[in-house]
């Protein structure tokens, strides 16, 4: 299981798409990361690129990750 999660800490330009203090799943995208962006599954349920500085990464136990993914 390789799901990665972040917590939103800023949403200045995207208040409808991102909620501060909310956990989001990200999709690995090396091109985006090289440009200081993250591919985030946002409130729409789709993935979009957002500034990396808007998030902090979190390490979750695999069982927790699985539960979150199954609940989505």
pLDDT of residue 71: 85
Tell me if 25 sits within 8 A of 38, measured CB to CB. Answer: no
Instruction: Classify the C-alpha dihedral 58-24-70-31 as positive or negative.
Output: negative
Q: Which residues contact 52 (CB under 8 A, 6 or more apart)?
A: 33, 36, 37, 38
**Tens of pLDDT along 28-68?**
999 999 999 999 999 999 999 999 999 999 999 999 988 98
pLDDT, mean of residues 10-33: 95
Kindly tell me if the per-residue pLDDT of 72 is higher than 80.
no
Check: CB of residue 58 under 8 Å from CB of residue 38.
no
**pTM to 2 decimals?**
0.89
Structural domain containing residue 11: 4-71
CATH number at residue 25: 2.30.30
Number of compact structural domains in the chain: 1
Return the residue matching tokens 């990200």: 26
Quick one: pLDDT band at residue 70, thresholds 50, 70, 90? confident
């Amino acid at each position: 299981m390789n799901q990665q999660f972040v917590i939103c800490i800023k949403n200045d330009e995207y208040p409808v798409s991102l909620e501060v203090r909310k956990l989001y799943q990200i999709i690995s995208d090396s091109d985006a990361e090289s440009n200081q962006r993250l591919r985030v599954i946002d409130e729409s349920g789709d993935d979009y690129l957002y500034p990396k500085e808007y998030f902090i990464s979190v390490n979750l136990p695999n069982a927790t990750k699985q539960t979150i993914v199954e609940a989505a």
